[in-house]
């Protein structure tokens, strides 16, 4: 029987919700491109419930305990005295989320000799040291596509919010003002702008599709070109590198995984090469951008705005400079954890566990590391240093 150690974010300050704003979720038939939705044998939760926080337990307890497994759920994840670190040495499976990542460093993996499976309840497994997972034979899986569209919606919201100066204008209302000139002196239309994505995978392409009706010029860079038909349909301009794309765009959105090729990509040089007054949206991973270079670019006016929901580390400390830099639209890491997304990634996590315990293959598209090497989606989208 297995011990499953699950790290989730804290419950709401007023406790787990008794009721919700809406009664149901729209029914989806599948993901764009034909990938099927998670298909576990059963669900022990109501779709639309808060599953991603500690009391929600990803809806896994009944399923795991009925099969004789042990489930430990905690939000206490950092430092040597954390519950995560105390429970890790005899854990067989670790489940974590990018929003509240249990950093599975090489040192921690070395302290967990029984660990065989690390599941990301969401997308993005950079909180796991993939080199160490490969070395120790740990399978890494994530719920590919579960929240890609959720993030794409958030990106579009953030682009519009920054360009149109929504958040400061809303603040004037909260403060009892009617300061139209203050609101509009940084407000523009996106119509006619050049907007580019660094990576056009599931999220990047969904962002492009959602922006097309705004009559903007769309650009992208990726390691592989999109099909010609897609380029034509969306009137896309392909760039061979992020550096090439960044110089011509008014808005850049980052939608690549964090791995050795992308870490620190948006540093002082690349930010300095962008058009003065460009906007940068990063919902991918914080360390793709240089923390202090972003602050400097906003202070100098090189960037007109920066928004996103990814920070390093997470949770961000109270004195993280991105909390107080000018012209930002940051949220905590929430874009991929809407109630809609939670239903999908909780179901996908259960599907992965069902496959694992039954000894049947985990879907290829969910795999990041397997059999001592990058596998599935991991082999396509990630790189490792060794």
Name which position in 255, 302, 340, 349 contacts ligand NDP (CB under 6 A): 255
CA-nearest of 298, 370, 377 to 330 is 298
Q: CA-CA distance, 22 to 205, in Å (whole number)?
A: 29
Q: With CB under 6 A as the contact rule, which of the stretches 26-34, 250-258, 266-274, 350-358 interacts with ligand NDP?
A: 250-258
Task: Give kind and range of the element (H or E) at residue 229.
Answer: helix 228-234
Q: How far is the CB of 284 from ligand NDP (least distance, A)?
A: 4
Judged by CB under 6 A, does residue 147 bind ligand NDP? yes
Token pair in block for residue 135: 């070395």
Judged by CB under 6 A, does residue 124 bind ligand NDP? yes
Judged by CB under 6 A, does residue 245 bind ligand NDP? no
Token pair in block for residue 295: 């602050």
Count of C-beta atoms within a 10 Å radius of residue 212 = 15
Token pair 């300050």 in the structure block, residue: 13
Name which position in 96, 302, 335, 342 contacts ligand NDP (CB under 6 A): 335
Q: CA-CA distance, 282 to 384, in Å (whole number)?
A: 22
Judged by CB under 6 A, does residue 101 bind ligand NDP? no
Catalytic center residues? 147, 285, 314, 333
List residues bridging with 4 in a β-sheet.
Answer: 71, 93
Judged by CB under 6 A, does residue 127 bind ligand NDP? no
CA-nearest of 58, 54, 73 to 4 is 73
* Site pattern 151..190 for ligand NDP (x: CB under 6 A): x---------------------------------------
Judged by CB under 6 A, does residue 148 bind ligand NDP? yes
Judged by CB under 6 A, does residue 222 bind ligand NDP? yes
Q: Is 203 annotated as a binding residue?
A: yes
Judged by CB under 6 A, does residue 283 bind ligand NDP? yes
Q: Is 260 annotated as a binding residue?
A: yes
Judged by CB under 6 A, does residue 342 bind ligand NDP? no
Token pair 């109630």 in the structure block, residue: 339
Taking the CA atoms of the chain, what radius of gyration do you get in angstroms?
Answer: 21
CA-nearest of 258, 278, 273 to 101 is 258
Q: CA-CA distance, 207 to 92, in Å (whole number)?
A: 37
Judged by CB under 6 A, does residue 4 bind ligand NDP? no
Token pair 């951008």 in the structure block, residue: 289
Q: Is 363 annotated as a binding residue?
A: no
| CA atoms 41, 43, 47, 52: torsion sign | negative
Judged by CB under 6 A, does residue 285 bind ligand NDP? yes
163/199 with CB nearer ligand NDP:
199
Q: Is 333 annotated as a binding residue?
A: yes
Token pair in block for residue 114: 């029984």
Q: Omega of the bond prior to 315 within 30 degrees of 0, cis? A: yes
Q: How far is the CB of 191 from ligand NDP (least distance, A)?
A: 26
List residues bridging with 266 in a β-sheet.
Answer: 289
Binding-site residues for NAD(+), please? 148, 202-203, 222, 257-261, 283, 309, 333-336, 381
Question: Which residues of this protein are in contact with ligand NDP, per CB under 6 A?
Answer: 98, 122-124, 147-148, 151, 198-204, 221-224, 255-258, 261-262, 283-285, 309-310, 333, 335-336, 377, 380-381
Binding-site residues for substrate, please? 123, 147
């Amino acid at each position: 029987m297995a011990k499953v150690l699950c790290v989730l974010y804290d419950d709401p300050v007023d406790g787990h919700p008794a009721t919700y704003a809406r009664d149901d979720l729209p029914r989806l038939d599948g993901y764009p491109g034909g990938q099927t939705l998670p298909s576990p044998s059963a669900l022990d939760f109501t779709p639309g419930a808060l599953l991603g926080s500690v009391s929600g337990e990803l809806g896994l307890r009944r399923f795991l305990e009925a099969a004789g497994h042990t489930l430990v759920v905690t939000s206490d994840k950092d430092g040597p005295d954390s519950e995560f670190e105390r429970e890790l040495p005899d854990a067989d499976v670790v489940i974590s989320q990018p929003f509240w990542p249990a950093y599975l460093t090489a040192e921690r993996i070395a302290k967990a000799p029984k660990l065989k499976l690390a599941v990301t309840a969401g997308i993005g497994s950079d909180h796991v040291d993939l080199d160490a997972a490969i070395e120790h034979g740990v399978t890494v899986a994530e719920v590919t596509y579960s929240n890609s569209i959720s993030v794409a919606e958030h990106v579009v919201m953030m682009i519009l919010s920054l360009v149109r100066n929504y958040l400061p204008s809303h603040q004037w209302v909260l403060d009892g003002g009617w300061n139209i000139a203050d609101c509009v002196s940084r407000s523009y239309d996106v119509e006619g702008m050049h907007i580019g994505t660094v990576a056009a995978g599931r999220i990047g392409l969904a962002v492009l599709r959602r922006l097309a009706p705004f009559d903007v010029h769309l650009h992208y860079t990726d390691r592989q070109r999109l099909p010609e038909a897609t380029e034509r349909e969306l009137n896309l301009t392909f760039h061979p590198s992020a550096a090439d794309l960044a110089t011509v765009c008014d808005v850049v959105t980052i939608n690549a995984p964090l791995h050795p090729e992308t870490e620190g990509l948006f540093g002082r040089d690349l930010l300095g090469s962008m058009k003065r007054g460009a906007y940068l949206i990063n919902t991918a991973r914080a360390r793709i951008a240089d923390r202090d270079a972003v602050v400097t670019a906003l202070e100098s006016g090189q960037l007109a705005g920066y928004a996103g929901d990814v920070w390093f580390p997470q949770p961000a400390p109270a004195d993280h400079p991105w909390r107080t830099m000018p012209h930002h639209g940051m949220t905590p890491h929430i874009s991929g954890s809407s109630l809609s997304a939670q239903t999908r990634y909780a179901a996908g996590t259960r599907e992965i566990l069902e496959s694992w315990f039954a000894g049947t293959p985990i879907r290829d598209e969910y795999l990041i590391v397997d059999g001592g090497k990058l596998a599935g989606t991991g082999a396509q989208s990630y790189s490792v240093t060794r």
